[in-house]
């Protein structure tokens, strides 16, 4: 997870997505890895992939702060995909 965060902070979204995906292999519901993967995918322009991953974050955390933030992000992405 830390490698993904470091890569993301350096703008290396390809490496960050790979690191977050590797976490999800062993922990498919890892909230941080899912959230960060979704954000990294959006930075790469993969809005469809970001929407898919972030929808899972909402499923796992519908009442929390992240759930609300992610719902807003998904609404923005939906507008860009039209």
The full length of the chain comes to 82
2-81, CATH topology level: 1.25.40
pLDDT at 61: 75
Task: Return the SS3 of 29.
Answer: coil
What does the pLDDT read at residue 74? Answer: 80
Q: What is the DSSP letter of 12?
A: -
- CA separation for the pair 79, 52 (Å, rounded): 15
Q: Say what the pLDDT of residue 64 is.
A: 67
Distance (Å, whole) CA 13 – CA 64? 26
pLDDT tens for the chain, residues 1 to 82: 789 999 999 999 999 999 999 999 999 999 899 999 999 999 999 999 999 999 998 888 755 666 677 778 888 877 776 5
């Amino acid at each position: 997870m830390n490698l993904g965060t470091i890569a993301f902070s350096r703008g290396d979204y390809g490496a960050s997505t790979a690191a977050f995906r590797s976490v999800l292999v062993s922990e498919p519901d890892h909230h941080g890895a899912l959230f960060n993967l979704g954000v990294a995918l959006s930075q790469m322009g993969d809005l469809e992939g970001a929407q898919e991953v972030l929808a899972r974050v909402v499923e796992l955390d519908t009442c929390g702060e992240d759930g609300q933030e992610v719902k807003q992000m998904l609404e923005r992405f939906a507008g860009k995909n039209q």
